[in-house]
Amino acid sequence: MTDILMPALSPTMEEGVLAKWHVKVGDIVSAGDVIAEIETDKATMEVEAVDEGEVTDILVAEGTEGVKVNTPIARLKDEGGAAAPAPTAKTEEAPKAEAAPAKAEAPKAAAPATPASAAPKSDSGERIFSSPLARRIAAQNGVDLKSIKGTGPHGRIVRRDVEAAPKGAVQPAASTAPAAAISGIAPRQAPSLAQMGIPDGSYDLIPLDGMKKAVARRMVDSIQNVPHFPLFIDVEIDQLMAVRAKVNKMLEPQGIKVSVNDFVIKAAALALKMVPEANASYTPEGIAMHHNADVSMAVAIDGGLITPIIKKAETKGLAQIATESKDLAKRARERKLKPEEFQGGTFSVSNLGMFGIKQFTSIINEPQGCIMSVGAGEQRPVVKDGQLAVATVMTVTLTCDHRVVDGATGARFLQAFKPLIEDPVAMLA
């Protein structure tokens, strides 16, 4: 018997919702069969089997929330010694919650689940994909999984790979001591509302879903761990609005409409190529200088925020950026994005101008080095050639990770960005 574990389907996932089972006890599954649907902090994923075997127990019921990564969710009977199906995933539309979730099959007392070890990681921090059975055999035989090339589906390490590997390369044992005990610092416990003077029963409590928890965790990590600072600049957008009107008139027969944000994404991408030091990420090993400007755009969705990516934005025209951004935003709100469409990115743009917000500062989206906050365009008094005039002005804020982008580099980026926005004809070439 081998346990099927709750998979980690995104870098930020610590727990998920087991939304739906596609198999039942007694079913025989083969590689590629969809066995379950898991709701992560960003999307709903279909989990596929990568090997075959008989499902003997369902350990977690449909609709169960807060299922921790690497928790056993089902049990598989090995077919001819084969490893259990390990999950892979693809994005699908989020299913509606069942009114009455099916009850899980109770695990048999005679065969209690054996806790499976968490998936190991390589020296670079990347997860090593291996089946639970392969991990157990590796631990028993003193085999280092980092030295093995998997021959299973999608390069996964399976039983036969471990049995064929040279023995003796024992992995260092993981410490079981809690982080707080190692550091000597107890984790901070937030006081309850009652302790802060707000009595119980005077409010309605809305439970945190996976996305809210993930956003809260990532934002706290970013604000605590990243030494950040903002830079502000005003740009005049009268010419941009005039060019946008002409471009949209030309594109109207194709059903394409370019937004101000599309101009901002294009200008940011071009400015990143002019000042490549701003298109970078901090790592403990050094500063990663990215080859392309993969611009993440903040999209508000029910229950949180997601940042789909316009990849290689510097190589794309405004019409293509407009088409992609509209499609990504639509599928983001439907929770149909694939992981590679919202994970990664080298620079972010957050635009609250449509809500009338004049100026704001965003929290850096790690591991990116910068995020740009775009406010509303409004008519303001300006001085031109010593004369008072009126112009449509938009305030832009660049928040920088000081480990990567210092003040001078951030200023040079904004100096490259400003003329592209104020004279956008250059972006049409």
**Is residue 270 within 8 Å of 427, Cβ to Cβ?**
yes
48, 52, 56, 60 alpha-carbon torsion, rounded to 10°: -10
SS3 for 181? helix
The strand ranges marked E within 321-386 are 347-351, 370-384
Q: Which of 22, 154, 291, 402 is catalytic?
A: 402
Question: Nearest 5 degrees, angle CA 393-CA 396-CA 400?
Answer: 165
**Is residue 150 within 8 Å of 101, Cβ to Cβ?**
no
> In this structure, is the dihedral angle defined by the CA atoms of residues 413, 415, 418 and 420, taken in order, positive or negative?
negative
Nearest C-alpha neighbor of 56 from the set 135, 131, 2, 114: 2
β-strands 299-301, 88-92: how paired?
unpaired
Token couple for 208: 């945190």
- Cβ-based neighbours of 122, under 8 Å, separated by 6 or more: 128, 146
- Cβ-based neighbours of 71, under 8 Å, separated by 6 or more: 5, 6, 60
| Cβ-based neighbour number of residue 346 at 10 Å | 26
Give the side-chain half-sphere CA count within 13 A for 373.
19
Q: Element (H or E) spanning 391, and its range?
A: strand 387-401
| Cβ-based neighbour number of residue 273 at 10 Å | 15
First vs last C-alpha separation in the chain:
62
Nearest C-alpha neighbor of 294 from the set 335, 331, 259, 328: 328
- Active-site residue flag, 402: yes
Tell me the catalytic residues: 402
